Amino acid sequence: MVMIRELQEGLFAGGSAEEMINSLFEKIRRSRLNAYNHIAEDQALERAREFDRSPWEGSLAGVPIAIKDSISTRGIETNCSSRILSGYVPPYDAHVIERLKEEGAIIIGKTNMDEFAMGTSTETSYFGPTKNPWDLDRVPGGSSGGSAAAVAAGEAPAALGSDTGGSIRGPASFCGIVGIKPTYGLVSRYGLVSYANSLEQIGPLAMDVEDAALVMEAISGHDPRDSTSVKSEGGYLSGLNGGVEGLTFGVPKEYFGEGVGEGVDPEVERSVWDAISKLEELGASWKMVSLPHTKYALAAYYIIAMSEASSNLARFDGLRYGLRLGADQDWHSTFSEIRAAGFGPEVKRRILLGTYALSAGYYGRYYLKALKVRTLIKQDFERALSSGGADLLVTPTMPFPAFKIGERIEDPLSLYMADVFTVPINLAGVPAISLPCGFADGLPIGLQIIGRHFDEVSLLRAAKAYEDATPYHEAVPKEVI
Amino acid sequence: MAGGDVIIGLEVHVQLNRLRSKLFCGCSTDYHASDPNTHTCPVCLGLPGTLPVMNRRAVEYAIRVALALNCEIQGETLFYRKNYYYPDLPKAFQITQYDFPLGMGGSILIKGEDGEEKKIRITRVHMEEDPGRLVHAGTIDRAKYSMVDYNRCGMALLEVVTEPDLRSPKEARSFLDKLRNILEYLDVFDGGLEGAMRIDSNISLVGGERAEVKNISSHKGVEKALAYEITRQRSARRRGVAQVQETRHYDELRAITVSIRTKEEAHDYRYFPEPDLVPMRIADWVPEVEAELPELPDAKRERFVAEYGIADDHARSLTSEIRVANFYEVVAKRAPSRLAAAWIADVLKGELNYRDITIDKFSPDHMVEILSMLEGGKITEKGAVEVIRTILDHSGDLSEVTPTRVVEAKGLARAGNDAVKAAVRAAVEESAQAVADYRAGNEKAINFIVGVVMKKTRGRADPGEANRLVKETLDEI
């Protein structure tokens, strides 16, 4: 286990950044997890040596951070775990990378993910699946599985992921760490390779709430290069220790029992209710609330995500960058063959379905209807979180703990069902955090707390209060030792 | 070519090339003299992870145009993705407008086929991004390979779509001339730059299907392409071959159109709203843009007639290009306005057209100087034309040639009274036969003597004046 704050204390006490990063690289090289696609050894060590020569200031000074392979890093290959982006080295840094560097962080590598973030298990990666450090036979969740596994196993103190339908929270839940999906618009998407633009946000994965808040503070805020980004008030760290007294938690009835809550593992449900009791014990109150359109969320989500993806991924034709095969033929055949060879089956499935949903004659029946459902779901959350309602909502993050590698990959629908509690949050654009709240057969369980638009402060404050009162975040997977 | 059976509608792509940066990124628009692919960035190359950011000035320019074309402005902008694969389109979609174009229901006036004013309705004006440029190794249907230049990729384009109100290639041409004129008045467009205006045209014969002719890049090209297409459709009809709905490519070098696809192969562009751009309430911008709208050609023409007392034809000619109109106003403030109108509209414009150069190659100061010499009787009209030509043909430093110097150097000063009188006396003495003929009642004989005077003064005498003096002398004797 590596914490940002402990590392920084070590550096302040005269420790060498180069040694610290070298030992991380040593650990990554020995690792059986397959959490990283690329290690930025030269870049990172050079920056560490610079830091050792004349240390700079910054909230993340000298801190190594791992980056999901869908976030553009200048000079470091960025593949989105897809063959089609083989050899692509971005000539620019994503906004979040610039921000991390400005705060003094050192980028150590790119983490494995589901190909183009399309998946819930990191099994659709061209580079093979990442393994869960709690049980090497199991998936780490997805799509930011590499980031979550790396942090959980101490191969990075913190990482960035991206969350389109649960891709930060799901892996955080499966790997027993903290992951935040910020409010849509809080973190600039400039440099994040788009899967579904209107749904996704970049966010942190870390060992505890405070480390996650530290990274949040660094990456959030307005960026003129992303028209959907807004100004941030910040204050995530300073508001962290306010406690939960006086807060009302809403428990959406649709997430328990009948309906979408039906497939929930009993251990998961029990842990979440224990968490609710714990919050009550800490001075909060709770009540049942209703999110009546929950059952339509998954369908609306997949239609919107796949439609946007079909358009976003059309640019990958091997013409300007990425995969190139043998001798060129005419343009049409050349790019068709490159796309046929470059994309994996799940990506192809989603491109085809998305293309279909946007086609003339089907647009109104699918895409437009999904947008209407999305509005209803957003209204559900706004009503449940209105001033007379709850301040925050509590739910399980995933319906079950980490499943076995290969267990669900052949059955896409059962895999899509795993996103049932995370997807509505992206449709509504509200922020949510996943943090450890128990174990089932030695596998971590995640608690999801959902907040109002741009009220990350309350979200983090509640998460911190719960974390301080429980031991789950301190547990360390076997693989680490 | 006008037959009354021809129906033409135009889709004109206008680059807002007076903007300093592209539509969605900060790349400079000043690429025309640069090497290929030097005016690009991750955004206009559509690299993974990049996002578009709206150039607010471009929206303002677009509103300016829509207002000048008498369109209704939408309350809010809404942009869509038009999805299709083409190597000049690096994102594989074009950000454009769809069912909520910026402006709708406009019109402009042109001089119709019959010489009367004619209103051409404008269906819509919308904004979009320009794709890159393909350079084919040979012609489009035979090229072995093509190259892509992304310099112009992401330039702000306006698409102006007309109703099928045009009845001949000439009307199409005069619509485009008028449109270009308005755009230049608005200072949003420089028609002189490569690729500034590209035209697609829908053309059909009454009762027949339409062909869409793409890739027309000049006003002259429009007349040629449409004339070719009308002939082609008419002769097909005569042979009993029905026109099918199709898209044809205009091959400028060969001046023919080639079919590239029929209706069955039409694209499904899968339009959907661009998630990376937020809607803007442009209705709020309209009053300000409207207040700053410059005077447009029709209004300027009317003002010229009223303010400078010039003929409507002259006013029309002077206002048909903003630069000419501005030139005229500078001159008219310092010289007799009607004389200036006649000399600029009838003489200077003709000389410029003949040389295919623009009016910035001629100084208004020089025009004022020439008109003043003319008025003061220092040069003749013939001399004035000579001065204008000499200055236009001068290839060196313009400050070296002034009208006065040209007059001196070429000896164009109008001959003084004494010199002319002396020449008249000498001519009368030398032309005994003509004098006798005149006396015998042949009035025309006087022309011969005037000719001799002109020769003696090397053209610097005013012919009318010479004629009067010759007559006086003859009558005195």
> B45 contacts in A (CB within 8 Å)?
320
CA distance B325 to B304: 9
Inter-axis angle of helices B432-439 and B417-430, to 10 degrees? 90
pLDDT at A104: 97
Under 8 Å CB-to-CB from B432, ≥6 apart: which residues?
none
- Answer whether residue B37 shows pLDDT above 60: yes
**Catalytic residue (choose from A31, A68, A173, A194):** A68
pLDDT at B17: 95
User: Cβ of B270 and A360 within 8 Å?
Assistant: yes
C-alpha R_g of chain B: 29
Using the Cβ of B106 and the Cβ atoms of chain A, whether some distance falls under 8 Å is answered with: no
pLDDT at B370: 94
B48: nearest CA partner in chain A? A193
CA distance A140 to A120: 9
- Answer whether residue B441 shows pLDDT above 90: no
Q: What is the mean pLDDT of residues B282-305?
A: 95
A191: nearest CA partner in chain B? B49
CA distance B201 to B11: 6
Three-class SS string for chain A? CCCHHHHHHHHHCCCCHHHHHHHHHHHHHHCCCCCEEEECHHHHHHHHHHHHHCCCCCCCCCCEEEEECCECECCECCCCCCHHHCCCCCCCCCHHHHHHHHCCCEEEEEECCCHHHCCCCCCCCCCCCCCECCECCECCCCCCHHHHHHHHCCCCCEEEEEECCCCCHHHHHHHCCEEEECCCCCECCCCECCCCCCCCEEEEEECCHHHHHHHHHHHECCCCCCCCCCCCCCCCCCCCCCCCCCCEEEEEHHHCCCHHHHHCCHHHHHHHHHHHHHHHHCCCEEEEECCCCHHHHHHHHHHHHHHHHHHHHHHCCCCCCCCCCCCCCCHHHHHHHHHHHHCCHHHHHHHHHHHHHHCCCCCHHHHHHHHHHHHHHHHHHHHHCCCCCCCEEEEECCCCCCCECCCCCCCHHHHHHCCCCCHHHHHHCCCEEEEEEEEECCEEEEEEEECCCCCHHHHHHHHHHHHHCCCHHHCCCHHHC
User: Cβ of B48 and A315 within 8 Å?
Assistant: yes
CATH assignment, A4-247+401-480: 3.90.1300.10
Amino acid at B395: S
pLDDT at A137: 97
Smallest CA–CA distance, residue B277 to chain A, in Å, is 6
Question: CA separation (Å) from A371 to A309, A351, B93, B194?
Answer: 15, 18, 21, 42
Q: In this structure, what token pair is assigned to residue A2? A: 């590596």
CB A390 within 8 A of CB A289: yes
> A71 contacts in B (CB within 8 Å)?
49
Burial of B428 (0-12, 13-18, 19+ CB in 10 A): buried
DSSP B252-289: TTTTEEEEEEEGGG------EE-TTS---BGGGGHHHH
CA distance A472 to B246: 68
Q: In this structure, what token pair is assigned to residue A249? A: 């938690």
A68 is catalytic: yes
Q: Which of B49, B54, B275 faces A190 most closely, judged by CB atoms?
A: B49
pLDDT at B123: 98
Q: pLDDT band at residue B382, thresholds of 50, 70 and 90? A: confident
Three-class secondary structure of residue B116 per DSSP? coil
Reading chain A (481 residues) residue by residue, the pLDDT tens digits are 688 999 999 998 889 999 999 999 999 999 999 999 999 999 999 999 999 999 999 999 999 999 999 999 999 999 999 999 999 999 999 999 999 999 999 999 999 999 999 999 999 999 999 999 999 999 999 999 999 999 999 999 999 999 999 999 999 999 999 999 999 999 999 999 999 999 999 999 999 999 999 999 999 999 999 999 998 888 999 999 999 999 999 999 999 877 777 789 999 999 999 999 999 999 999 999 999 999 999 999 999 999 999 999 999 999 999 999 987 788 899 999 999 999 999 999 999 999 999 998 899 999 999 999 999 999 999 999 998 889 999 999 999 999 999 998 888 888 888 999 999 999 999 999 999 999 999 999 999 999 999 999 999 999 999 999 999 999 999 766 5
pLDDT at B469: 83
pLDDT at B93: 98
Read off the pLDDT of residues B45-68 as tens digits, 9 standing for 90 and up: 999 999 999 999 999 999 999 999
Interface of B with A in 330-359 (CB under 8 A): none
Please report the ipTM that was assigned to this predicted complex.
0.95
Using the Cβ of B279 and the Cβ atoms of chain A, whether some distance falls under 8 Å is answered with: no
- Answer whether residue B310 shows pLDDT above 90: yes
A277 is catalytic: no
A231 is catalytic: no
Q: pLDDT band at residue B430, thresholds of 50, 70 and 90? A: confident
Q: In this structure, what token pair is assigned to residue B411? A: 């000896």
pLDDT at B377: 83
> B83 contacts in A (CB within 8 Å)?
310-311, 314, 358
Smallest CA–CA distance, residue A322 to chain B, in Å, is 11
Q: pLDDT band at residue B400, thresholds of 50, 70 and 90? A: confident
Q: What are the start-end ranges of the E strands in B102-143? A: 103-111, 117-129, 133-136
Mutation to test the B interface, candidates A312, A335, A372, most B Cβ within 10 Å:
A312
> A229 contacts in B (CB within 8 Å)?
none
Read off the pLDDT of residues A425-466 as tens digits, 9 standing for 90 and up: 999 999 999 999 999 999 999 999 999 999 999 999 999 999
Read off the pLDDT of residues A414-428 as tens digits, 9 standing for 90 and up: 888 899 999 999 999
Read off the pLDDT of residues B104-148 as tens digits, 9 standing for 90 and up: 999 999 988 888 899 999 999 999 999 999 988 877 777 888 899
**Average pLDDT over chain B, rounded to an integer:** 91
Domain boundary assignment for chain A = 4-247+401-480
CA distance B96 to B98: 7
Q: In this structure, what token pair is assigned to residue B213? A: 């002719």
Domains in chain B: ranges and CATH: 6-289 (no CATH), 295-410 (no CATH), 417-476 (1.10.10.410)
A367: nearest CA partner in chain B? B272
CB B272 within 8 A of CB B96: no
CA distance B246 to A167: 47
Amino acid at B149: D
